[in-house]
Amino acid sequence: MEELKKFGLKATLPRLRILQLLETNNQHHMSAEDVYKALLDVGKDIGLATIYRVLTQFEAAGLVIRHHFDDNSSVFELNAGHHHDHLLCIKCGKVIEFVDDVIEEHQRTIAKQHGFKITNHYLYIYGVCSTCYDKRNIT
Amino acid sequence: MEELKKFGLKATLPRLRILQLLETNNQHHMSAEDVYKALLDVGKDIGLATIYRVLTQFEAAGLVIRHHFDDNSSVFELNAGHHHDHLLCIKCGKVIEFVDDVIEEHQRTIAKQHGFKITNHYLYIYGVCSTCYDKRNIT
DNA sequence: ATGTATGCAAAACATTTGCACCTGG
DNA sequence: CCAGGTGCAAATGTTTTGCATACAT
């Protein structure tokens, strides 16, 4: 909880609560709105503006990663230290995390060939998961 | 130009102009605002709302691909038929397109392992290009 | 003609910011 | 105590929508 101090951020209640929520929530990917509602549900009324500010600071501190999935809003996930990519179901919203060393290696090679210093990279594979696919003709 | 009809879209002036712009513009990646301004510059005053509507229809028709780059706005590019990924400079905005067969193959494998039917996928590598990197201590 | 498209202005969102008040160290 | 943090409401930027008018077929 005190990793906040490493980044010169005071350990305030809103920050601690948001961090704790991200650490314990079983859906790792949350929008600012999701965080807001989840905290409200637990009786913690933290302003949405503060949530945006805190998440943005967390992102700058490297505690959190911001993604721009297909819709026009941002989702945040705790930076667990190990980079991973995402496989997303467009029907049910399921998110699967994965790592493929060969893909990682090829990305580095491509960046090098073009003279780029990589800062970060995102791979999103969208599709329909087996559960949703099986249901396709049922309803 | 008449690929519009294939999708049940009337060949109206705004659509033809937007399509033509995307086909001829040397920057392949344009936001709705970019398209709006580019057309204005050529004396074609097409409402921004129409541009959004047309680009969205083009996307649905598969004529255009919509990307959500790091900022919170959408950019569109003509679907040239051959899928490719993107390498982006965070300093100057340069965009390089590339294809890596090994990466593509591994993506298919991963999706299959998880029982997903891929609909599409996006790989964005962000970094600093050599030009910007060389300039880093100059200014 | 007639169903579709467009333009404009207003609405809907997601996100950011200004400012007075509160709080952690 | 005091710098930094928060809440609220207003501002911003992007994208969507309602509706009357204009256009392609």
Both tokens assigned to B96: 């390089």
Q: Is the CB of B12 under 7 A from strand D?
A: yes
**pLDDT at residue B138 greater than cutoff 60:** no
CB B61 within 8 A of CB B76: no
CB B123 within 8 A of CB B99: no
Residue in A with minimal Cα distance to B73: A72
User: Which one-letter amino acid corresponds to residue A133?
Assistant: Y
* Res A122: pLDDT: 96
Q: Which of B71, B117, B124, B129 is the best mutation test for A, with the most CBs of A within 10 A?
A: B117
Q: Is the CB of B47 under 7 A from strand C?
A: yes
Average pLDDT in the B1-14 region? Answer: 85
Query: Rounded CA gap, B74 and B92, in Å?
Result: 18
Name the average pLDDT for chain B: 93
Mean per-residue pLDDT for A100-107? Answer: 98
Please give, rounded to a whole number of angstroms, the shortest distance from the CA of A75 to a CA of chain B: 12
Q: Residue B137: pLDDT band by 50, 70, 90 thresholds?
A: low
Nucleotide D19 C1' to residue A36 CA (A): 36
Distance CA B61, CA A80 (A): 39
Do the Cβ atoms of A127 and B116 come within 8 Å?
yes
Question: In the prediction, which pLDDT does A137 show?
Answer: 59
**Would the CA dihedral through A83, A129, B114, B127 be positive or negative?**
negative
DSSP state letters, B76-126 = EEE--SS--EEEEETTT--EEEE--HHHHHHHHHHHHHTT-EEEEEEEEEE
Q: A27-45 burial string, b = 16+ CB within 10 Å, else e?
A: eebbbbebbbebbeeeeee
Q: Token pair for residue A17?
A: 């609560």
Q: What is the pLDDT of residues A124-137, one digit of tens each?
A: 999 999 999 887 65
Q: Which two tokens mark B112? A: 């299959």
